[in-house]
């Protein structure tokens, strides 16, 4: 190919075109392609957009709009063969097989007939996937240009999809009927953490008990214009005492969840660990529940906030906790990708050894309720196309529901990159104690804080129902 093809768009005039000439381009389908087409066309059939609904259909997953293949064919006609100046007269299409996220489609147009008098061309058109299966086929009829056109390619505006608040709205609609969970809010002595507790209370998610120095709390509320007059305040002298008192409220059954305020995370976690009534035998671990436009379903990243450099035993608990969260949000058998820098076991890379051991533990029934695979590099875990290129055959690759990171640093960077550069929406929760612990950051958005409280309510309701079934 002429390197100018990258900078120029050029046509082929009728006299240069012979029967049998063809043009070909490859396109790998992404979730964003499907979402953009839905936005432009207005076709928001849940078969194309809702992974949960799509999994219950005969296609067993999200598929692309059939006319998206037609759009690829149109682009080839307008830019390659014949190219600019082409007049599109008609198109027939037959949709023979579904196209899925990660499929690489070979889009081809071939000259089948030409009419000298009218300058008309008939082209055979097709989209064939990486397995050789024809997804779309048909015929196009065009009038070919008779004058040469060669010009710089147009620079298109950059389009960026954002997750919006639909995920949060669905989560809130799901949990509101469960009733608010009584939550000990630990030392909410700045405007952000106090506002978060009040927002969650207003949303019907939590019934807060504010555990903090009363005078300091009232000063923060007055300065921020927040009304806390109707809320219970348990007066304590400082943040350390707030953590100890809050966990005591949980141990005594007065509260069913904890929410971090403006104290340090390790201060709260130490108080939890020091209270035997809050221990379950599992390691405490943090989960980010994330949703990004570039991926077709919500997913979990763990652990990115509590365990700095977890051992194999600790990673096993991290996986178990994440599986429980995934099941709570409706994923009956989550797919767990154990991440590393590479997808092969390397004795010099401990993360790959841990990944292999965790998968074997799942094989032996030491970790249950999910499908595990690893080591998997990040691209293989979330991209079916990347996994296929590397020859990885896996039930998890390209479809992971849970991403287990090697250590806190890598997990924290991954989560923040997705949030700040990838437009991801997130919620955070600490698991492994007898109650959920809402762990938010000062930099978290209001939506993220509310979603974290909604997760706590969801987990509390699930635990309540489990206990009821056990005792009945």
Residue percentage of the chain with pLDDT more than 70: 95
pLDDT beyond 50 at 351: yes
pLDDT beyond 70 at 84: yes
Long-range contacts of 20-24 (CB under 8 A, 24+ apart): 20/110, 20/111, 21/81, 21/110, 21/111, 22/81, 22/108, 22/109, 22/110, 22/111, 23/76, 23/80, 23/81, 23/108, 23/109, 24/76, 24/106, 24/107, 24/108
The reported pLDDT for the residue numbered 421 is 86
Which residue stretches of 99-234 are H helix? 166-175, 191-202, 214-224
Of 14-23, 329-338, 340-349, 417-426, least confident by mean pLDDT is 417-426
For residue range 126-157, list pLDDT tens digits in order.
Answer: 999 999 999 999 999 999 999 999 888 777 77
What gap in Å lies between CA 420 and CA 375, rounded to an integer?
Answer: 26
pLDDT beyond 60 at 39: yes
Q: What's the token pair of residue 146?
A: 């008779």
pLDDT beyond 60 at 317: yes
What gap in Å lies between CA 352 and CA 100, rounded to an integer?
Answer: 30
Beta strand pairing call for 257-260 and 335-339: unpaired
The reported pLDDT for the residue numbered 168 is 60
What gap in Å lies between CA 227 and CA 243, rounded to an integer?
Answer: 23
For residue range 258-281, list pLDDT tens digits in order.
Answer: 999 999 989 999 999 999 999 998
Residue in this structure with the two tokens 């949060």, named with its chain if needed: 168
**Mean pLDDT rounded to a whole number for the chain:** 90
pTM for the model stands at 0.71
Mean pLDDT value of segment 392-405? 94
What gap in Å lies between CA 359 and CA 84, rounded to an integer?
Answer: 54
Residue 2 banded pLDDT, cuts 50, 70, 90 = very low
pLDDT beyond 50 at 1: no
**Is the distance from CB of 83 to CB of 11 less than 8 angstroms?**
yes
- How many CA within 13 A on the CB side of residue 266? 2
The reported pLDDT for the residue numbered 471 is 65
pLDDT beyond 70 at 290: yes
pLDDT beyond 50 at 159: yes
**Is the distance from CB of 200 to CB of 453 less than 8 angstroms?**
yes
The reported pLDDT for the residue numbered 173 is 77
Residue 384 banded pLDDT, cuts 50, 70, 90 = confident
User: Burial level of 229, CB count in 10 A (0-12/13-18/19+)?
Assistant: exposed
Closest to 383 (Cα-Cα) out of 326, 304, 299, 323: 299
pLDDT beyond 70 at 472: no
pLDDT beyond 60 at 3: no
Residue in this structure with the two tokens 């909604």, named with its chain if needed: 454
The reported pLDDT for the residue numbered 292 is 85
pLDDT beyond 70 at 158: no
Residue 53 banded pLDDT, cuts 50, 70, 90 = confident
The reported pLDDT for the residue numbered 372 is 97
Mean pLDDT value of segment 381-397? 90
Closest to 180 (Cα-Cα) out of 188, 172, 191: 172
């Amino acid at each position: 190919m002429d390197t100018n093809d990258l900078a120029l768009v050029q046509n082929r005039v009728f006299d240069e075109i012979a029967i049998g000439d063809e043009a070909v381009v490859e396109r790998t389908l992404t979730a964003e392609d499907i979402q953009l087409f839905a936005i432009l066309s207005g076709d928001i059939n849940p078969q194309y957009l809702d992974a949960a609904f799509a999994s219950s259909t005969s296609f067993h997953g999200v598929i692309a709009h059939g006319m998206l293949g037609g759009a690829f064919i149109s682009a080839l006609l307008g830019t390659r063969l014949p190219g600019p100046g082409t007049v599109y007269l008609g198109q027939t299409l037959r949709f023979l097989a579904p196209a899925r996220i990660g499929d690489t489609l070979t889009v081809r147009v071939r000259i089948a007939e030409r009419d000298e008098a009218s300058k008309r061309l008939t082209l055979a058109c097709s989209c064939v996937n990486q397995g050789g299966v024809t997804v779309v086929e048909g015929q196009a009829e065009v009038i070919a240009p008779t004058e040469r056109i060669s010009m710089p390619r147009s620079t298109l505006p950059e389009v960026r999809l954002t997750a919006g608040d639909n995920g949060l709205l669905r989560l809130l609609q799901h949990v509101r009927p469960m009733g608010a969970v009584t939550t000990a809010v630990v030392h909410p002595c700045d405007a952000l953490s106090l506002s978060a507790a009040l927002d969650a209370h207003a949303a019907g998610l939590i019934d807060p008990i504010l555990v903090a120095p009363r005078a300091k709390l009232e000063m923060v509320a007055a300065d921020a214009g927040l009304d806390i007059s109707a809320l219970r305040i348990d007066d304590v002298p400082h943040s350390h005492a707030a953590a100890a008192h809050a966990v005591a409220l949980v141990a005594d059954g007065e509260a069913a969840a904890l929410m971090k305020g403006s104290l340090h995370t390790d201060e709260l976690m130490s108080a939890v660990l020091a209270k035997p009534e809050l221990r379950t035998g599992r390691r405490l671990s943090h989960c980010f529940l994330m949703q990004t436009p570039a991926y077709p379903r919500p997913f979990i990243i763990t652990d990115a906030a509590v365990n700095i450099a977890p051992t194999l035993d600790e990673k096993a608990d991290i996986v178990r906790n994440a599986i429980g969260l995934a099941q709570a949000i409706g994923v009956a058998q989550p797919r767990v990708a154990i991440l590393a820098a590479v997808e092969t076991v390397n004795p010099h890379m401990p993360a790959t050894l841990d990944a292999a051991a965790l998968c074997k533990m799942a094989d032996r029934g030491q970790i249950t309720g999910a499908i595990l695979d690893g080591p998997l590099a990040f691209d293989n875990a979330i991209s079916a196309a990347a996994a296929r290129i590397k020859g990885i055959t896996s039930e998890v690759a390209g479809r992971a529901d849970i991403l287990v990171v090697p250590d806190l640093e890598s997990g924290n960077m991954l989560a923040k990159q997705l949030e700040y550069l990838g437009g991801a929406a997130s919620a955070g929760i600490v698991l492994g104690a007898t109650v959920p612990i809402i762990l938010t950051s000062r930099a978290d958005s209001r939506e993220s804080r509310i979603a974290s409280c909604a997760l706590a309510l969801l987990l509390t309701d699930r635990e309540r129902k489990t206990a009821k079934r056990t005792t009945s």
